[in-house]
Amino acid sequence: MIRDGIKPPVRIPQLARTVASALDAAGAPSPASIGLILSDDYELADLNRAHMGADGPTDVLSFPLLPASAFPPREEAAAPGVLVAELATFVSPPAHRVHLGDVVVSLERAAHQAASGQGGQTGDVSWSTADELRLLVTHGTLHLCGWDHAEPAEERAMRALEQRLLGT
């Protein structure tokens, strides 16, 4: 969903491929769906306050519907040469698409971060808004699949997977 007044710098099919790559790498069930909402700082500030207890806008928020335990363990996911999707075992009715949750991205925040040199995984990258949006969509999708970066080891694994997926 693209909110009124939002003009994404990336075509929707490219964003869909970005999401699909992250879902595959994270071992998500297939078929699966997510809601991707491209919005602005105003909406993200409201969501950030309501759901995270933080003031001000943020770049991306994820609202997972499945617990992290529904996905392959991170240690296995980080193993070199192992595709996480090979590790997952999900059972669902035939032709049933599991909805994993929603990712909401502030395109306004993405553009600001990219242009001001506050983008990328380290917050010190100056690159295109399209690149920042792809990173945020990847990041948010991985959060839906149980990935986190609260602990240093988790962060290293998540950042490494993001880099691999984005080719950076």
Sign for the CA dihedral angle at 37, 127, 153, 16 comes to: positive
For the chain, the domains span 12-166
Q: What pLDDT, on a 0 to 100 scale, did the predictor assign at position 78?
A: 42
C-alpha span between 118 and 162 (Å, rounded)? 17
- Domain at 12-166, CATH homologous superfamily: Metalloproteases ("zincins"), catalytic domain (3.40.390.30)
HSE, side-chain direction, 13 A CA sphere, residue 148: 10
pLDDT for res 75: 54
* pTM for this predicted structure: 0.88
* pLDDT single digits (tens) 147-157: 999 999 999 99
Q: What is the pLDDT of residue 94?
A: 64
Q: Can you list the residues of the chain whose pLDDT is less than 50? A: 76-88
pLDDT of residue 13: 96
Q: What is the pLDDT of residue 69?
A: 85
Q: What is the pLDDT of residue 80?
A: 41
